[in-house]
Amino acid sequence: MKKKLVVLSGAGVSAESGIKTFRDAGGLWEGHNVMEVASPEGWRKNPALVLDFYNKRRQQLFEVTPNKAHNIIVELENHFDVTVITQNVDDLHERAGSTNVLHLHGELLKARSVNNHYDIIEWTTDIYEGDLHTDGHQLRPHIVWFGEAVPAIEPAIKIMEKADYLIVIGTSLQVYPAAGLIDFAKPHVTIYYVDPNPTQIPNLRNKLEIFSVLGSEGMEMVKERLLSF
């Protein structure tokens, strides 16, 4: 049986494809305060602004393509049982060919009713005020906003507990509960951390190997390391 490889990915992976990350802009995301466009309070205050913001993010997906880091993660499926747990809301892992992807924070190409967080539908075009779900309630992006529960965290914990190898790539490990997932890796599991600006990880019980480079370069290095075993 193939060893289980878990990849925890963040915005830095998509950044190489041209998708901007809000933390690289002093807390502003495309000129907006994050809480204006990524919180329940922002939605209640100005739903039109929030919808427009995500409409632009969704449109951008059709202008970008997966990069080398995404592709190497796919290549590793030839050697390992790979599961990607991603904080990203884009579909670049899937487009690259990853077959087992869990999105912690939702997906831009899906929408849901404001009345039912579990009634999720595929959605590839813009959403406007007045666009209703079949239940008669307003559609909203299928995105987990700041202050909302993360339904995927429990299955993500179960995946992490079974990892034989763990790659953390392109994440600041500052957003919880996602950042806490590494605590569920078994103590003997080595963590390969790929990020040009890696975060200090306090009280980590696992062996840690840091690759302070961009995702594409770092994934090439990690692949060589893993395949040498």
Kindly list the catalytic residues. 105
The three-point CA angle 100-98-174 to 5° equals 75
Which of 23-29's residues contact partners 24+ apart within 8 Å by CB, and which partners?
23/172, 23/174, 29/53
Q: Is residue 92 within 8 Å of 13, Cβ to Cβ? A: yes
**Strand 101-103 with 81-86, pairing:** parallel
> Cα-flanking dihedrals φ and ψ of residue 99, to 5°?
-100, -10
| Interior/surface letters 174-186, b for 16+ CB within 10 angstroms, e for the rest | ebeebbebbebbe
Measured between alpha carbons, how far is 219 from 225 in angstroms, rounded to an integer? 10
